[in-house]
Amino acid sequence: MAAPFTRVYRPLWRIITTTTLNKGVRNVSSTRQQWSAQNVKTAGVASPWALHGAVCLQRLPVVSQDRSPIEDEFMELMHQMELERSLLSDHELRLLEDAARMSRKQEEESDEEEEDYRDKDIFTAQDLEDIWEQKLKQYQPAQRSQGVDEKGVSSSERCLAESLILLVKKDVGSQKLWLLPQIQWQTGETLRQTAERALASLPVGADLKATFLGNAPCGFYKYKYPKDIQKEGSVGAKVFFFKALLSGHKHLPLEKNSFAWVKKDELQDFLKPEYLKQVRRFIMAL
């Protein structure tokens, strides 16, 4: 029973310091009695907030970001400076020797056949470079960017250079809202297990392999139910978000209208402003 009292004490102290400087002592004591009475009642029953666990599933970037103009310039400058300050490598020395030998041959036109029969002079350094270029051309890498939104919002292959968050369309009360996948907490499990259940309970949940980052929630959102649904003992709900990284999936296409993989900038098109405000805090898009 000491616990509820300590819980009351902190906000009570704030109230006392901020508002009761002008009020009389009698008032303060009466408010204190009211507070403790209230809290004892609610502690006995249950907290009025329903708990939900939600998962913020992130697909990390697959491809490196494009360089900004200043980064490009600086990269060029660094390459130049490094080249100027370096020593000549073996390959470059060989190139210079070959060039010198060629010019000597052309000027003198002497018979230097003995040199040609040494093993290393079958290929000049320039020839080696050409051979290597040819080999490189034989390999066709995949394309970096697939154009502007060729894939729909529900594919996880879009925007490979940025991290994407999974959103789900859900019925909340009477409306259909875009949310991070969430589910109600059941007694006997930790909130992290609730979040894992939330991910598994999605229709494609079995395909999405996720690594949860730690037991602690990364953010929370609290909302009150509209007046008509508010009963005694349930004022609203608190949603605790857990971060997870997508580790592997089978690239199955998701339903367009109920799933979306969204960048941080696009979140505002999907989420409600209050919800967005809380969610943006822990989504890092660097």
Q: Which of residues 185-204 bind other proteins (CB under 8 A)?
A: 190-192
Residue 281 within binding range of other proteins, rule CB under 8 A: yes
Pick from 247, 165, 250, 252: nearest CA to 212: 247
Helix (H, G, I), strand (E, B) or coil at 193: helix
Residue 223 within binding range of other proteins, rule CB under 8 A: no
Residue 284 within binding range of other proteins, rule CB under 8 A: yes
Residue 16 within binding range of other proteins, rule CB under 8 A: no
| AA identity, residue 256 | K
Which are the contacts of 255, defined by CB distance < 8 A and separation ≥ 6? 154, 203
The correct pick among 47, 126, 184, 201 for binding other proteins (CB under 8 A) is 47
Shortest distance (Å) from residue 202 CB to other proteins: 22
The correct pick among 17, 18, 22, 143 for binding other proteins (CB under 8 A) is 143
Query: What residues does 211 pair with on adjacent strands?
Result: 245
Given a contact cutoff of 8 angstroms between Cβ atoms, the answer to whether 178 and 260 are in contact is yes
Count other Cβ atoms within 10 Å, centred on residue 262: 22
Which are the contacts of 76, defined by CB distance < 8 A and separation ≥ 6? none
Residue 132 within binding range of other proteins, rule CB under 8 A: no
Residue 216 within binding range of other proteins, rule CB under 8 A: yes
The correct pick among 17, 22, 64, 175 for binding other proteins (CB under 8 A) is 64
Residue 131 within binding range of other proteins, rule CB under 8 A: no
| AA identity, residue 147 | G
The correct pick among 87, 122, 136, 148 for binding other proteins (CB under 8 A) is 87
The correct pick among 161, 206, 229, 252 for binding other proteins (CB under 8 A) is 161
What are the Cα distances from residue 147, in Å, to 13, 66, 72, 144? 58, 14, 21, 9
Q: Residue 189 is encoded by which pair of tokens? A: 């499990």
Residue 5 within binding range of other proteins, rule CB under 8 A: no
Angle at 276 (CA atoms; ends 272, 280), nearest 5 degrees: 165
Given a contact cutoff of 8 angstroms between Cβ atoms, the answer to whether 56 and 242 are in contact is yes
Shortest distance (Å) from residue 269 CB to other proteins: 21
**By the criterion CB under 8 A, which residues form the site for other proteins?**
3, 7, 47, 49, 51, 60-65, 70-71, 73-74, 77, 81, 84, 86-88, 93, 141-144, 160-161, 190-192, 211-220, 222, 238, 240-241, 245, 247, 278, 281-282, 284, 286
